[in-house]
A and B are shown apart, each in its own frame.
Chain A
């Protein structure tokens, strides 16, 4: 296969089986690309060639023995650096964990490797997955491979950029309030957030435990389905992973979308939506209608309250989860005369500005006298938003919206105003709060050539349906609409 031709899971498999390339050669080809492009993109923070080549050799031995290859055999993949990898540095893009080497693998990582995937390395992200531009990394921002002066989105910006630039065939990201879907949209590739509980989080470094999810990026929807098939399912090491059977997601993508009812909530097309993004998403909806979907207008009246509820709940949970970084057991320690001094200095030095801001907001919201006014109130609003989704799914099979109200912005353009940055999460946080699965699929480009994403939400555990719609949209030319 010539340089520049995008590899996909099926073509990797075909090439290995036909002995056109070995898994080792393929891994070497991807490392070659990474050495060439990563200085500019900053998508990878750590490479793991020893582990990758050992796995590639196992696959090549299986090919030589004529064995049936596992589903992701030889597929070069990247892992967001908030997901634990045994023996491979896992920094969470923070100075706090600069030298941290986990003693175990996350379940998702273990399952990928068991399925034959070759893990190339760990990708850059916003520190502890907090941000929407990848500018909050302690190791520098990632550049968007589609437009180098622009952000790749966040927080899983490195994973999205790596896949979009051909530096991995697929990648794992995490999504708490939009951190897979929005960078997928910004980099022009599909990004899937599964249902809360669909994928085990054992080994995922926690940010907001009632919202965090692991999910795939790929260059096409069928590959995202293939990765989900491998990582989904119950795990006895994560009691929040659901004991719901895993269907054949690849088979589901092939189903016709004819007759599906797609809800279009008016509340997602109001003030603040960039006119070019609006036009593209409306053309995308028209394309789905042409494919036989029935458009149903919807009201989701609590959409406007989602950002306020999300930023209380997510920061409250973060302030609690990040209390563990105190310099005692692992990670950075800045010595102090007393235990309290050590805690304070370690956390002052180890955390970046956005992480500190969120710890402050979350601690305030949970502190005596404010708990009812903020945290409890936000949880009630969360219930109303979940009810908006449940009511909508009485009438429709899926909800279709823009992923982000704006196309990718310039590096530094929004970095000075945290509230403006938070407000850009408006269309993604709703589904996060409701715990439903959602995908962002490429939906054309603006006149300046910047990618636009179409977001599709479906009911809990209906990932098959979201993949089916996204696949039909992609096959009908949605990415060049």
Chain B
């Protein structure tokens, strides 16, 4: 068994996901099957392989600006969206989003 019921409960807590007892059981079984399949990755010798962190660029490229012509100048631009963003919030009191008590104890 790759993953226990307790693991599922712990992960759900990390992900802020409420799960019913039935969901905990079914996710445990399904995740166990998926993780067992993923064990396949252990068949490969990866000692000399650098993990891929960028799709189109490698860490060997010389300078940031040369390899990333996409980067624009760091200049201030107005971003006047606060009102339209706040009107979409479930509960807002300008200029804030309002939420329940943050400190539980």
Contact = CB atoms under 8 A, between A and B. Distances in A.
Contacts, number: 162
B51 interface: yes
B17 A347 contact: yes
Nearest to A433: B52
A335 B101 CA distance: 11
A360 B104 contact: no
A355 B101 CA distance: 28
Contacts of B95: none
A336 B104 CA distance: 12
Name B's interface SS: loop
A110 to B, nearest CB: 16
Given A329-B97, A364-B31, A344 B38 contact: no
Nearest to B86: A329
A82 interface: no
A88 to B, nearest CB: 14
B30 A381 contact: no
Interface residues of B, number: 52
B31 A360 contact: yes
Contact of A196 (B27, B56, B100): B56
B104 to A, nearest CB: 5
Given A196-B55, A330-B89, A360-B8, A342 B70 contact: no
A418 B16 contact: no
B31 A357 contact: yes
Contact of B91 (A319, A333, A341): A333
A363 B15 contact: yes
Nearest to A312: B38
A381 B90 contact: no
Contacts of A363: 11, 14-15
Given A333-B90, A351-B17, A357-B31, A384 B100 contact: no
B102 interface: yes
A339 interface: yes
Interface string B1-21: 001000110111011111100
Contacts of A379: 51-53
A380 B38 contact: no
A137 to B, nearest CB: 19
A243 B70 contact: yes
Nearest to A382: B52
Contacts of A367: 10-11, 14
B81 interface: yes
A394 interface: no
A357 B71 contact: no
A148 interface: no
Contact of A339 (B40, B89, B100): B100
Contact of A383 (B19, B23, B50, B100): B50
A383 B49 contact: yes
B14 A344 contact: no
Contact of B40 (A305, A332, A341): A305
Given A363-B14, A460-B56, A356 B41 contact: no
Contacts of B94: none
B50 A329 contact: no
Best-surrounded residue of B11, B14, B55 (most CB of chain A within 10 A): B55
B51 A328 contact: no
Interface string A304-331: 1101110110000001000100111111
Contacts of B44: 302, 305, 380-381, 384
B52 A335 contact: no
24 contacts: A242-B56, A311-B34, A323-B16, A330-B88, A336-B100, A339-B104, A340-B16, A347-B17, A356-B19, A359-B17, A360-B8, A360-B31, A364-B11, A367-B10, A380-B50, A380-B51, A381-B46, A382-B51, A382-B52, A384-B44, A386-B52, A418-B34, A419-B30, A435-B56
Across the A-B interface, the 5 shortest Cβ-Cβ residue pairs:
A348-B18, A379-B51, A333-B90, A435-B55, A383-B52
Interface of B: 3, 7-8, 10-12, 14-19, 23, 27, 30-31, 33-35, 37-38, 40-44, 46, 49-53, 55-56, 68-72, 81, 84-85, 88-91, 97, 99-102, 104
Given A103-B84, A380-B44, A435-B55, 18 more contacts: A100-B88, A103-B88, A196-B55, A243-B70, A309-B41, A330-B88, A333-B91, A336-B100, A337-B100, A344-B16, A356-B17, A359-B15, A360-B11, A360-B31, A361-B35, A377-B41, A380-B51, A435-B56
